[in-house]
Structure 1
């Protein structure tokens, strides 16, 4: 891992421990030898209260490249979510995670996670990644929200 990447991720971990976002969790994975792997983080994003996503805790794997912060992390829901901007693989389709679109090295863990939480409740119809979810979102909001509420229940129970 490059020195800049290591320093940045260590600082982000320190800042997260000091003032992370209530209800979220974010922690580097532990390697087999017990050390922390700062390049791979386990994250939990709660659904916003008052939305069909409420009550669910959505698990995400963040994988940071050696070139971070020059390049964005890859964010993947595990298990994959039913959402217009989440690929069937679970990978999040969000402009701030795309170095060709909205990524800036000044973005940090907190900003990324808040952006993903907002994306859950405010899908971007201009950038669909999952045709079934996008189609239902466009054609039948009531059925879409019913499916999202069931997903929130399933995420709570897992």
Structure 2
């Protein structure tokens, strides 16, 4: 898919990326070649820090954001790596959160930073009414076992090179 992008949009994306980084989030368009200025604005590589004071603290979690040509009228697709442990993340990594559902709460005015911040909050506040994998059953039946699995995941992601 080829997309023409104005220089204004590129500068705007870079400013948003820098602002997001200052808050602990990382969100940058994926590079498409050896030229550092050659990027795919339809695919972004993002990292969300675990929120301080939660079991998720201590690591940054990678997310891929994919934008359709209908963005911002349609939400981006957001995915953690395959197998990410969370009650509202499918085994494929797809994130099930209301603000990314165009039939529920999607708002075209949401910024990338607001999306990432919502996902960060949702890590420690799973939606028990929208379970997507076995993590929900552990979460609902054995909170200690759930917290242990979360901490194991934190250790894994904390051991990866920083974004």
Matches within 5 A, 1:19-30: 20-30=21-31
- Asked whether the equivalents of residues 46 and 117 of structure 1 are also in contact (C-alpha less than 8 Å), the reply is yes
Q: Where does residue 31 of structure 1 map in the other structure?
A: 32
Give the RMSD, CA atoms, in angstroms.
Answer: 2.0
**Does 2:135 match 1:139?**
no
Instruction: Give the alignment's TM-score, normalised by structure 1.
Output: 0.90
Show structure 1 runs of 4+ deviating over 3 A.
1-4, 6-10, 18-21
User: Matched residues in 1 for 2:129 and 2:43: separation?
Assistant: 29
1:21-71 per-position Cα deviation (integer Å, ceiling 9, x unaligned):
522111100002531111100001011111111112100100011110001
User: Matched residues in 2 for 1:142 and 1:26: separation?
Assistant: 33
The structure 1 residue matched to 2:120, chosen from 97, 117, 120, is: 117
**Does 2:52 match 1:49?**
yes
Runs (5+) with no aligned partner, structure 2: none
Instruction: Give the alignment's TM-score, normalised by structure 2.
Output: 0.87
Deviation at 1:156, TM superposition (A): 0.8
Runs (5+) with no aligned partner, structure 1: none
